[in-house]
Amino acid sequence: QVQVVESGGGVVQPGRSLRLSCAASGFTVSTHGMHWVRQAPGKGLEWVGIISFDGSSIHYADSVRGRFTISRDTSKNTLYLQMNSLRPEDTAVYYCARERPGGWSDFDHWGQGTLVTVSS
Amino acid sequence: QSALTQPASVSGSPGQSITISCTGTSSDVGGYDYVSWYQHHPGKAPKLMIYEVTNRPSGVPDRFSGSKSGNTASLTISGLQAEDEADYYCNSYTSNNTLYVFGTGTKVTVL
């Protein structure tokens, strides 16, 4: 059964760092592109970034480029989101999502998300 | 990159049909057949309902259908059911620096 489970959220002060994890099961992250998507309180979904299936290509939304880094550990079948220089506007539920097999522009399995709160 | 434009809310009675629009530009919705739709019940994982404008993943009822005309994509729910009450988001690939853009979201209410 395909499943992704996010963890690592919490309360962090502005300017500090936090690393989120996304543990995959039922498939391998080395054969699927993986995305991060976030939803601020009361707001809509916002795409954050992607790492390609082979890890050779990583892209970010303008709002996080230069501050966030996506990586993965294929031996642990886990995706990561390193978030530096956090701002209050980064407060959101962060989801990881798998690219649909055979596609590259849509996301067929999502986790339940992990909440990040940036506040002093 | 601005979010794609969706109506804030749409409502209908059980059994009726509703349509949610998703308006972008020639750099996203109008330029590519890479529009997808997601159903999101608050507190749960979003669910893929339509991909590549018109295609339904396995397990999604055929009451859900997608289409596109110019810079506007649409999701139609026919035979509305109580369990369809949720937030719906469109998404498109974009040629801008941010590769993917979501819509503003539409809350569907079943009266």
pLDDT in tens, A71-97: 999 999 999 999 999 999 999 999 999
What one-letter code names the amino acid at A51?
Answer: I
Whether the CB-CB separation of B91 and B35 falls below 8 Å is answered with yes
DSSP state for residue A100 in the 8-state scheme: P
Q: Write out pLDDT tens, residues A16-67.
A: 999 999 999 999 999 999 999 999 999 999 999 999 999 999 999 999 999 9
Predicted pLDDT at A85:
98
Q: Which pLDDT score, from 0 to 100, does residue B96 have?
A: 87
Distance CA A98, CA A52 (A): 10
Give me the pLDDT at residue B56, please: 97
Backbone angles phi, psi at B52, to 5 degrees: 45, 50
Mutate to test the interface with B, among A22, A59, A93, A106 (most CBs of B within 10 A): A106
Among residues B20, B21, B12, the alpha carbon closest in space to that of B79 is found at B12
Residue recorded with tokens 């620096």 = B97
Determine the 3-state secondary structure of B6 from DSSP: coil
- Among residues 39-98 of chain B, which lie with CB inside 8 Å of chain A? 40, 43-48, 51-52, 57, 89, 91, 93, 97-98
Mean pLDDT of chain A: 96
Which of A44, A63, A109 is facing B104, going by the closest CB pair? A44
d(CA B27, CA B77): 27
Q: For position B72, what pLDDT does the model report?
A: 98
Per-residue pLDDT reduced to its tens digit, B59-96? 999 999 999 999 999 999 999 999 999 999 999 999 98
pLDDT at A35: 97
**Which residues, listed in sequence order, are joined to residue A37 by a DSSP beta bridge?**
A47, A95
> pLDDT value at position B97?
85
Residue B1 is predicted with a pLDDT of 72
Put simply, the answer to whether A105 touches B104 (Cβ < 8 Å) is no
pLDDT single digits (tens) B18-68: 999 999 999 999 999 999 999 999 889 999 999 999 999 999 999 999 999
Residue B6 amino acid letter: Q
**Cβ–Cβ gap B38/A112 under 8 Å:** no
- Which residue is it, tokens 């976030």? A38
